[in-house]
Structure 1
Amino acid sequence: MPTSRTASTDGVRRRPKDRKAQIARVAAEAFSARGYHAVGMDDIAAVLDISATALYRHYANKYDMFRAAVLTLGQQLVDATNFCDEPSPDPDDEDTARLQARIVDSIVDVALASRDSAGLYRWEGRYLEGDDQAALMAQIRLVNRRIQIPLQRRRPALTSSERWTLSSAAMSVMGSIADHRAKLPAPQIKELMQQLVGAVLEAELPTAAEAAEQPSVSPRPIAETATVGRYEAVLQQSLLLFDKQGYHETGMGQIAAAVGIPTSAIYRYFSGKQDILAAVFRRAADRVSGELTSVLAGVTDPREALQRLIEAYVASAFAYPELSYVYYTERVNLGVADQEMLRNVQRSTVGSWARLLVEARPEFSSAQARFVVHAAMALVIDLGRLVSYQDSAHAQACVRRMMHVTLGVESR
């Protein structure tokens, strides 16, 4: 555990020279694990074994510390890929392949080194204000453009939209490392990420004509309270508000107003806002479990089973676009028991996909398959957000294709 002083040869404890960086690391891990609103200055000071007052020598307030933590993570990605800006006169195919491999290794190194906090810029970065939010977006855009350098050399016919889709998919695959705690030796993770990113960047995206022949779904409509009843309406409107403005920024009065009932009426069904959030996730968990059972009924070929699961997973994400985002951003606000329930459901779901993947692709170990499944699932929310969950067959076909490519179960 970090302490307020480091031991010296004379027995006197002195303040470490990297105190500010140490605070930033601890803060990043705390904000990533528990969310921005749930972490206080006292919490961070306690981990460091110093007083909260000592933190103010380095940061003006909690937001200042949070801003530094998020933008430091983004800057690490920028710094790790700075070599991409070095001039490379007349590069050949071998140079281009080496550049892509180096980019992937560098980004994965950052993700592994900050695995306990890398989710911070993906999910908690929404709390950045004004220019700080713009700075984070600029960092991510710059890293994407660097990924596109070897991509554009190899595939000059790609449109700008296609390049951004593929580079965003590559970033999503690598960033998925922070979404779970599956274990593999670092060299194996890097080798696997090279394989997955390589497949993603070589993917042929479907044309509009091809997509038009595939199934698509629309976001499910929000029913009127009179149609679904108050209980269901509270769940629906709460989820929309949590997605739009965040769990902590949403009050019970706002939920009641959205439903069109007195605030006191909510307490007939829920003990509080956390209870509503838990009910939303329990409902989603039941749907995922039921969907898995339904999709796999009577299917014996693992490749076909995975293809059906992909169709169902993408359809659900586009039908309920707010649910996936709220899952990743607000699950830290659940109680301990509900968080454990949610983790168990996720492990079970990922485990089911991973077992099918090992059957379809026996070159993967069970542990490797879990990494691949998490990467494929991350693509759905990251690419879905990139296209704003557009109600279009093409957007959904692109997401499905990227899942197929990542899992390596394209139709033959």
Structure 2
Amino acid sequence: MTVSIARNYGNTDAESIADFYNEHDLELFITFPEVPCFIAPMSASTIRTAMRMISADECESFFEKNFTNIKILIQDQVKYDEENFCERGNDIVDTIAFDGQKMKETFRRGETSRRHKGGIVTQLFNSPQRTALACAITPEKNNEKSDVIPLIGRVNICGQVVMCDKLNSTPEVSYAAIDAETYYLLPLGDNNGNKELHSHLEGIFNRNHKKAIKYSETELEEKSRKKAEIMGTEFRKKKAIHGRREYLDIELLPASYLNPRISNPHQGVSVLVKKTKTVVTVRNHADICETRNETYYISSIPYDEDYSIRQVTACFQDYWQIEGNHSVLDDECILNQDNLQACNSNTIYNTAILNKICMPLISYMRQRFSIEFGRTSRPFSSKKTMNWIQKMPIWYFMEFFCDYWFDKEDDKN
């Protein structure tokens, strides 16, 4: 627990954690009866030994039991301008994403090349609620699908929608989702035995474009432009974020369009999806260039002309949150996960789990500060929240910690 609190204060290496303990030992001793009485200064080697000796399984169980809960529901959070949770019905379920993340400075014992990483963390992540549900670690690159299948079976995600990237869109993942009584929405590429099915879907949508159920942000913006011209009002394009505007166009068809003679290694397919992502690069308020990318998906989401398009749209809007979470974990001003130089599997895994223990606390405090300061359209950044935490006395931080721990809004696991 002391190591976890130290990480929330931005102490991510053994030396700074030991310094934190030595500086705050009296506060920690009063706050936590289990903390031993201060006899001699803590050393960095003691912290390293503890990280090697702590049972990774126990640390993982502690995380999943206590830090995967949702304290502030997404409907009550301060959100970004472009997020539109308020427009969704109660029938829209959460998107559960999984992906791997390298810990760049880790290495394998006995390997001469530092290109071979000692730790690649695969996490199961509730995207709309911004909450990690479980994680696994492997030294093998591109092994996320093997790691995540046991997690899908272990964590209660019944009725949600599982998403991943093309590299992990395998029959094993779709089977695991069905066994866990959840849905899947998987992108198709020319790998993992999906090449023939991928080409088949492309032909289906080319032939049946007019029959598809559609959600088109480009068409919605064009209608708004024409309406503004007729009404004589000012037309405003979609707001540019990070120097670009992104538009999402979706087409849906039922799985009955699939030819049974075409190889399909996935069970339970009910919906076929075509996603077109248009990116307009903006410089000095002027459109510079436009690119389009088409991706085809299969899904076991029940086909319905109204529900299916709303659920699939919500999944695409939510999925990116896992990348945002990776960015926060790697940020050198927050948890600095990439800076861990280690080869011991326990040290690597425990570090990854401790970071995931910190994240819900940081996210909760970020939302608390944003709400209390009256923010309405954009929450404070995680970096700013960390800066505030580092200036807090421990007793004040523990008020937030105990509030999260003892009074959770929702427990889905």
Q: TM-score by structure 1 length?
A: 0.28
Looking at secondary structure, tell me which structure has more helix per residue.
1
Higher relative contact order (CA 8 A, sep 6+): 2
Looking at secondary structure, tell me which structure has more strand per residue.
2
